[in-house]
Amino acid sequence: MFEHLVSFKFKEKLSASKEKELLDALYSLPSQIPGIIQLTTGSNETTETGNIQGYTLGLRVTFTDQQALLDYGPHPAHQSFVSLLDGLIDNVIVIDYPIV
């Protein structure tokens, strides 16, 4: 299995409706993209004030294997989600690793 972690930093605070749109789009991905075992996402609710550096949305996707992760990037459903981020993102951190 392969883990895909993403932290999103937005240029400005998202409206409740925009955040819901992004979350709904993310939650729809497992039904559209083969190889996703589990997907969790949500707003950052940490109490560690010194470390969040403006990253307010997290995503974790578990894939069957590295090839499923590689196929996810260009998949039309994923690219549709990416298009929703146009103009909103200040920075993104991505970490991918095998589960051992």
Alpha carbon 63 to its chain centroid, in Å, reads: 13
pTM over the 0.85 mark = yes
H/E element holding 78? helix 76-84
How does the average pLDDT of the chain come out, rounded?
94
Domain that holds residue 71: 2-45+53-98
How many domains are contained in the chain?
Answer: 1
Q: Which residue has the higher pLDDT, 74 or 54?
A: 74
Over 80: is that where the pLDDT of 48 sits?
Answer: no
- Asked if residue 82 lies in contact with residue 93, where contact means CB atoms within 8 angstroms, the answer is no
Length of the chain, in residues:
100
CATH number, domain with residue 9: 3.30.70.100
Give the pLDDT confidence score for residue 85 in this predicted structure: 96
| Look-up of token digits 């999103």 | 8
The confidence band for 47, taking pLDDT boundaries of 50, 70 and 90, is confident
d(CA 63, CA 30): 10
d(CA 60, CA 4): 6
